[in-house]
Amino acid sequence: MEKLVAKVSQRIKILNNELQEIYQEHSDDIVGEITLKNLLGGMRGMTSLVCNTSFVDPYKGLFISGYEIPDFQDKTPEEIFFLLVTGTFPDPSELDELNTELAQRATIPEFVWSMLRSLPKNIHPMTMFSMGILAMEGESVFKKKFEEGVNKDEYWLYTLEDSLNLIAKLPVLAAGIYRLLFMNGDIIDSTQDLNLTDNFTFRLGFNRHNPSFADLNRLYLVLHCDHEGGNVSAFTSRIVNSALSNIYYATSAGLNGLAGPLHGLANQECLHFITEIHDALGNKPSIDAVRNFVMATLDAGKIIPGYGHAVLRVTDPRFSAFMKFGDQYCSESPYLQTVKKLYEIVPPILKDYKDGKISNPWPNVDAISGSLLYHYGMTHYEFYTVMFGISRTLGFCAQNIIARGMQQPIIRPKSVTNTWLKTYFESRTNEGNRTKKAVP
């Protein structure tokens, strides 16, 4: 993997030099302020992390090294990983090298399958996915090299080594979990050197010969790859990695965050929501009936899955990319039709709901992704977050390789108590009063 190592090494040097220059001039300058609202509001809007793999503009969505979704939605997950970690798309020889490396690393140790087979069948596939990754932690090259006392300048190199192993294995692990839970339990093997998407599609074992299903899987693995460093899953993986835990620990931890319904599990929740609509109203519900259903859901104190976002303030461009795919390949799907009806109905309702308190009434990626998979026969919607997770791991790995290269310190923000806050604000008020009195 000479070419990849050279490119990543160069990127780390450039990023390090840039940051050192900025630091020399501005080490004590203020980059933001923290209000009590930020503190109590899930640190929303607080600038607290540097992440060079991707950037989310509230009005334009995801950027990777300056590229917007239309620039990269036709690429493969391998190309996207290369872009995330090096900042450039691979040339043909670099891509060839990466594909060969990944194909050689795609085997899951037998003990992982035995462990997964021993689990109860009502377990969630995300739990199996996270456990499967954690179970392979003993294979970490970084861990071994750290124990041997390797120089910390080389930490990133072994994090890259671990990342390639992990990225290669995840489609195999995920497809195996699908077979164990939802098919007859036989895991499909392959001796062919397949790319990540084809390996995944082949091992799922259904709809294999449908090129648009393979293309949907590719798109799925591309669009979910990264969304800055502060989202629940990426931030968790960054924190865990910052303790010099290896990438298996960091990824498993990040995926446990992705498994929450306010984050990656929202795609499963969306399909569940549409299924509920179809069960109650038939699979061609009228606009008015769907509107009433949405209102009743909100009145029952529930959220509308797939709508809203902590950063975005427009329709998620990833939603639009999936919609384009749906219009091209499965426009008649009743699930996609209901997604469209919801897109018409939900934003105006959410805009006015709770006196306009909802920051973003527009759909995010999860409002549509599952409905397309459902159309192609992946009806076990508990699995959708696992696919999100394969893709998001590309971002975890890229972020953590770079963080190691930049020798990011252990992440440890300060927490305070209610008493601390009371005392702090009281002393500020007293200071203010003293200052006022002092002024003639």
Q: Which residues bind ligand AMX (CB under 6 A)?
A: 262-264, 266, 303-310, 354, 357-360, 364, 366
Give the shortest CB-413-to-ligand AMX separation in angstroms. 19
Distance of closest approach, residue 57 Cβ to ligand AMX, in angstroms: 16
258 or 402, CB closer to ligand AMX?
Answer: 258
- Output the CA–CA distances (angstroms, integers) from residue 296 to 7, 84, 247, 334, in the order listed: 54, 42, 43, 22
Contacts of residue 200, Cβ cutoff 8 Å, sequence gap at least 6: 171, 172, 174, 175, 217, 221, 390
State the Cα–Cα distance between residues 158 and 150, nearest whole angstrom.
10
Q: What's the half-sphere exposure (Cβ side, CA atoms, 13 Å) at 67?
A: 19
Note the maximum CA span of the chain.
86
| Residue number with CB closer to ligand AMX (145 or 224) | 224
Query: Quick one: tokens of 422?
Result: 């009371």
Nearer to ligand AMX, 8 or 365 (CB): 365
Closest separation in Å from C-beta 401 to ligand AMX: 23
Helix (H, G, I), strand (E, B) or coil at 46: coil
Q: Which is nearer to ligand AMX, 142 or 396 (CB)?
A: 396
Q: Output the smallest distance, CB 304 to ligand AMX, in A.
A: 4
Report the residue count for the chain.
440
CA distance 361 to 117: 42
243 versus 262: smaller Cβ distance to ligand AMX: 262
Among 105, 5, 8, 6, which residue's Cα sits nearest to residue 403? Answer: 8
* Strand partners of residue 68: 63
Q: What 3-state class would DSSP assign to 147?
A: helix
Report, in Å, the least distance between residue 308 CB and ligand AMX: 2
For residue 246, the minimal CB distance to ligand AMX (Å) is 25
The whole-angstrom separation of Cα 307 and Cα 319 is 11
Residue nearest to ligand AMX (CB): 308
Indicate if the alpha-carbon torsion angle 255, 248, 216, 123 is positive or negative.
negative
Active site residues: 263, 309, 366
